Copies of this chain bind each other. A is one copy, B any other.
Amino acid sequence: MSVEISLRHKMGALDIAADFISASGITALFGRSGSGKTTLVNMVAGLTRPDSGVIKIGNRVLFDSARGINLPPHHRRVGYVFQEARLFPHLTVKQNLDYGAFFNKARDQRQFDHIVSLLGIGHLLERRPLHLSGGEKQRIAIGRALLSDPEVLLMDEPLASLDEDRKGEILPYLERLRDEAEMPILYVTHAVPEIARLASSVVLIADGKSIASGTAAEILGRLDLLPFTAQDESGAGALIDATIARHDIDDQLTILASPLGELRIPALGAAIGTHLRVQIKARDVMLSLARPVDISALNIVSCRIADLREDESGMVNIGLDREGATLLARITPKSARDLALKPGKPVYAVIKSVAFDRRMIGTWN
């Protein structure tokens, strides 16, 4: 199922103009604070009425100003995880979770148990939301939306108040949702790692406008968008699709088959043949003219320089090409000069295995 959005809306000083189609999977809405992400999501949920435009989910038209269609929110079947949890204070956690289930066919106890244990909220079921911690509230809000059996999931910075452990536990579940349920997810975030890991496609939002959209690999691989996509602490990085080729149990390594050749990464608990998507941060890629020896880095990829671009901070971002596959590297201008790098020059890209942090690897089917 795909989500099709084409909206115009004037709100205070902000002019919203968003146009994008996102195929099934997770579409990340990425943009800085105040750029209009929440407003956009509210329009999809039917909580804010756009001045004009169209919102479609699959074949269902949720809104079409020209045809005078404006489905009321409770018929839209969107599950919305709000930026603030918005739990019902008068209901217990369990009743909060069950709230949406009331309107679906049957309440599915197995799914309930599954989601509860996944979110680690089993011990909270009988409590009321008031005194819960920020993270606890947010987890319950996620569970509540999931259990309302939606056709689209809207998530507005759902992981912002969660600690890394919890994020790490919830992310795989979102991946599964994305892949199995075929449920489109609009995912607001300003965390690049979440995009790298989860997003099928990315829509960049600036000042209310959708300024670029495309697959996550396209958007994160574009040197001209680095001012947006590299803003995260861990910076930009290309996305590589890969498959688990074999496990090396003795060495605690997993070997991936990828367009870059074999990649050795810390052992993953996934079956051989599993599709993965891996972000290789530009900052983690070292370049060498000769193949290094006696070094701890296990991944050495021979490739060719495609493009060089100095960024605002003076560093050099380099697009590398290996038989059509793209890799990004980021080095100092001194190194670039010392190594006399220029387009077309063959180089070795050196990447540590541990640079493949499990948190940057998404399973993908």
Residues of A bordering B, CB below 8 Å? 12-13, 31-34, 37-38, 83-84, 123, 131-136, 139, 157, 160-166, 168, 190, 193, 231-235, 248, 251-253, 264, 266-267, 282-284, 286-290, 292-298, 313-315, 329-337, 339, 350, 352-355, 357-360
Contact = CB atoms under 8 A, between A and B. Distances in A.
A284 B330 CA distance: 13
Contacts of A165: 32, 231
Given A33-B163, A286-B286, A295-B286, A234 B231 contact: no
A49 to B, nearest CB: 15
Contacts of A293: 290
Given A38-B133, A164-B190, 5 more contacts: A34-B132, A34-B136, A288-B296, A295-B350, A296-B329
Contacts of A83: 134, 161
A284 B351 CA distance: 10
Contacts of A164: 190, 231-233
A33 B162 contact: yes
The number of times this chain is found in the oligomer is: 2
A74 to B, nearest CB: 23
A143 to B, nearest CB: 14
Given A38-B133, A233-B359, A332 B353 contact: yes
Contacts of A290: 293-294
Given A136-B34, A231-B164, A234-B233, A252 B333 contact: yes
A334 B133 contact: no
Contacts of A163: 31-33, 190, 231
Contact of A297 (B234, B253, B286): B286
Contacts of A193: 233
Nearest to A341: B296
Nearest to A131: B12
A296 B334 CA distance: 9
Nearest to A357: B233
Contacts of A284: 283-284, 352, 355
